[in-house]
Each structure stands twice: as structure tokens, then as C-alpha cells.
Amino acid sequence: METFKLPKLHYLPNALEPYISENTINFHYGKHLATYIGNLNKLIEGTPFKNMELENIIRNSEGVLYNNAAQTYNHIFFFNSLCPKGGGKPGGALLEVINSQWGCFDAFKAAFSAAALSLFGSGWVWLSADNSGKLFITQTPNAKCPLDDELTPLLTLDVWEHAYYLDYQNQRGKYIENFWNIVAWKSVEKRYHHIR
């Protein structure tokens, strides 16, 4: 029996259109994420990692095992950061802290987008928080994630080319712009609430 399984999406594969196509979801979620999970299960078989939570595998591994565990985590987090009727802006304590740290939501959005656009090569852009609730926008290359820096991830954008190439070709900026229409802010708010 496999330890980790491909989680069910909480929306239909075509539900994020026109911003992310069903074709991209089928490849990105159905192929890329499924491959990372399959590789992860093979790598942990017969090892002490077999009975670990995914986050602990990330914190205690390196090399190919780390890459497959972290990419499994990152991709699941990304797909859970999206929803069909998303967009707008967050509310509550999260918006208050965003406004306090960046001056306004639009300034935060611009800073996050700039980080996503300027990341060289493949990787991720994150909104994370430390234990005090302070927010950080970070870029991580390849499979790296904020868990490595003892931060709690709140939101991520996948800027590997496979995340957007079928829909946007080399237009990463357009992909980033459209990302804001499908952000699941309610989920992000809940993650932040658990820190506070």
C-alpha cells in the first residue's frame, strides 16, 4: 500500500479556466504531481521515512528524497491555494498585517508579483509567516520551501515553466497577473489564523 496518494482536487479540472486550462491541470496535477508522489513512495519504502509525515521527511532529508518530498508538498500547497471563485483580497487579521507591512494590499501584490517575475529559472514564490505573525515574501529555487527556514507557508505560486507553458508559453508575467483571479484567500486566512 502506498504511503502517499494523489490528493483529490477541491475543484474540477476545468474550473480555473480561463486562467489555468483543464489541459494544464491534467498535466501539472495529473502527471507532474503524480510522478513526484510515485517517486517519493519508492524512495521511502523500507526506510525510517516510511512512517514520517511529509513535513518531517522534508526537514530530515536531502538530495533526491528531499526534492521529491518537497515538490510533493509544494505542488499540493499550490493547488490548495487556488479556487474557481477566488481573487479579490483577504480580510481580517491577514489584511491588517499586509497593510501594516506593505502600506496597502496593492503594494503587497506588486511586491509578490515582482518576486515571481524576477525569479531566475525554476522555483516558487511564497507568502509565509514566522511564529510572531510577521509576513515574508520569499523566492525559493527548484524544490526548496519555507519549512527549511522555520516559516509557515500561507500562499505559493509555482513559477516552474510546466505550471504555465501550455497556456502562456513564455509569458510568465501574464500567468502571474491571472493568478490573482484564482487565489483562495479564505484558505490563506485560515492558515494565518492558526499562527496567531
pLDDT of residue 1: 45
pLDDT value for 2: 64
For 184, half-sphere exposure in the C-beta direction (CA atoms, 13 angstrom radius) is 19
131 & 172 share domain: yes
The pLDDT value recorded for residue 194 is 86
Cα–Cα distance, 108 to 131 (Å, whole number):
20
Q: Are residues 126 and 174 in the same domain?
A: yes
Q: Are residues 105 and 33 in the same domain?
A: no
Q: What pLDDT is stored for residue 195 in this prediction? A: 83
The β-bridge partners of 183 are 82
Same domain for 103 and 188, yes or no, is yes
Answer with the one of 58, 80, 102 that is the final residue of a domain: 80
Check whether residue 100 and residue 190 sit in a common domain: yes
Do both 181 and 109 map to the same domain?
yes
Question: Is 86 a member of any domain?
Answer: no
Count of domains in the chain? 2
Name the helix (H) or strand (E) containing 70: helix 63-80
What is the pTM assigned to this prediction? 0.95
In a domain, 1, yes or no: no
Laid out side by side, the sheet with 135-141 consists of 135-141, 123-129, 152-158
Domain hosting 114: range is 92-195
What's the pLDDT at 96?
Answer: 97
Each of the 196 residues of the chain gets a pLDDT tens digit; together they read 468 999 999 999 999 999 999 999 999 999 999 999 999 999 999 999 999 999 999 999 999 999 999 999 999 999 999 999 999 999 999 999 999 999 999 999 999 999 999 999 999 999 999 999 999 999 999 999 999 999 999 999 999 999 999 999 999 999 999 999 999 999 999 999 988 6
Q: Is residue 8 part of a domain?
A: no
